[in-house]
Amino acid sequence: MVRFGKNGSDATSGAVRLARAYTKRDHVAACGYHGWQDWYIGSTTRNLGVPKSTQELTHKFAYNDIDSLNKIFADYKDQVAAVIMEPMNSVEPVNGFLEKTKELSHKNGAVFIFDETITGFRYANGGAQEYFGVIPDLATFGKGLANGYPVSAIAGRADIMRLMEEIFFSFTFGGETLSLAAALATMTKLQKEPVVETIWKQGGKVVDGVNDLIRRHGLKDLLSTGGKPCWSFLLFKDTDVYSQWEIKTLFLQEVFARGILTLGTHNISYSHSDTDIENLLKAYDEIFQIIMNVLSDRNLPEILRAKPLVPLFKVR
């Protein structure tokens, strides 16, 4: 069964409320980023304005660390309503992590939720759950569902979803149908055309090209790629002179100056052409050389035209 919302935070918050209603429990185990609502953001350093009692109900576990989740269940025995996680971000699941997380959740009576706000309709038409072969009890979708129109969705087991009739999940624009028409058109195109296949193919060209440039410029100790070709990351490390945030500020300064909008991720779409990829790699080639020169000359403060970035808050 499916219930529609308007943005990702609607869907994740609705799923958590649903899990609490279903299990009659209050605590939540979370891994990844799940929106701005109190139940999640209270567990981060951006928790200003969130009641302490709410903050104390959400507990983070580390990706690929099943023991960190097991500890939450041990510390809050028979109190965890939901385990909510992004199935993958920049790091691959290892040692059957997704399967073990689902098994551990069910063993402890918790509802297992995938936040597929980003992985949905990138990894496969059925999301990361189809790609990895791990089906959650509930899943949330957004962003790509209607190709940019404001809509999101909670989907999952009928026995849990029926409680949607009992919990309160409503908003002014909840009945807006233009976005539903856009979602139908988008999903129809996803099924009729090789959208996901093309995204993976074009994304593979980006990842291969970026890795080649990293090798050619001798930056493997500073830069690497992560994620999947359909949604990949340019990852930065600290150097003995500059932090990763200082280097990333330089990177963004230079990439923006070349007319490319990115925050260090490659969010491939069906419309990205070979020419787009060539332009991206040409810009990276120039910028990687600038980074090499800065590391050699140690003159970053003279090159930067803005204050260095600082992390918003630690998500993973």
Q: What is the CATH number of the domain that holds 82?
A: 3.40.640.10
Domain match, 27 and 99 both? yes
Domain match, 50 and 94 both? yes
Residue 310 lies in a domain: no
Whether the per-residue pLDDT at 198 is higher than 90: the answer is yes
Residue 309 lies in a domain: no
Domain match, 178 and 288 both? no
Instruction: State the Cα–Cα distance between residues 206 and 235, nearest whole angstrom.
Output: 14
Whether the per-residue pLDDT at 32 is higher than 90: the answer is yes
Residue 184 lies in a domain: yes
Domain match, 230 and 289 both? yes
Residue 179 lies in a domain: yes
Residue 314 lies in a domain: no
The number of distinct structural domains making up the chain is 2
Domain match, 172 and 62 both? yes
pLDDT score recorded for residue 1: 96
Residue 56 lies in a domain: yes
The mean of the pLDDT values for the chain is 95
Q: What is the mean pLDDT of residues 274-302?
A: 96
Taking the alpha carbons of 11, 13, 15, 17 in that order, is the dihedral positive or negative? negative
Domain match, 48 and 23 both? yes
Domain match, 285 and 175 both? no
Whether the per-residue pLDDT at 314 is higher than 80: the answer is no
Domain match, 244 and 135 both? no
Which of 169, 192, 215 is the endpoint of a domain? 192
Whether the per-residue pLDDT at 308 is higher than 90: the answer is yes
Domain match, 160 and 46 both? yes
The residue type at 76:
Y
Residue 313 lies in a domain: no
121 in Cβ contact with 191 (< 8 Å): no
20 in Cβ contact with 58 (< 8 Å): no
Neighbours of 117 (CB within 10 A): 24
User: What confidence tens digit (pLDDT) does each residue in 63-98 have?
Assistant: 999 999 999 999 999 999 999 999 999 999 999 999
Which of 146, 167, 192 is the endpoint of a domain? 192
Residue 14 lies in a domain: yes
Predicted confidence band at 287 (pLDDT cuts at 50, 70, 90)?
Answer: very high
pLDDT score recorded for residue 312: 77
Domain match, 141 and 259 both? no
Q: What is the CATH number of the domain that holds 204?
A: 3.90.1150.10
Beta-strand relationship, 231-236 and 223-228: antiparallel
pLDDT score recorded for residue 174: 83
DSSP 173-242: TTT--HHHHHHHHHHHHHHHS-HHHHHHHHHHHHHHHHHHHHHHTT-TTTEEEEEETTEEEEEE---SSS
Domain hosting residue 137, numbered range: 2-192
Domain match, 131 and 215 both? no
Whether the per-residue pLDDT at 316 is higher than 70: the answer is no
Whether the per-residue pLDDT at 14 is higher than 70: the answer is yes
Which of 164, 192, 220 is the endpoint of a domain? 192
Lowest mean pLDDT among 60-64, 108-112, 289-293, 312-316: 312-316
Predicted confidence band at 199 (pLDDT cuts at 50, 70, 90)?
Answer: very high
Stated as kind and residue range, the H or E segment containing 111 is: strand 111-115
The pLDDT > 90 percentage for the chain reads 94
Domain match, 170 and 225 both? no
Q: What is the mean pLDDT of residues 166-171?
A: 92
Predicted confidence band at 310 (pLDDT cuts at 50, 70, 90)?
Answer: confident
Three-state DSSP state, 29: strand
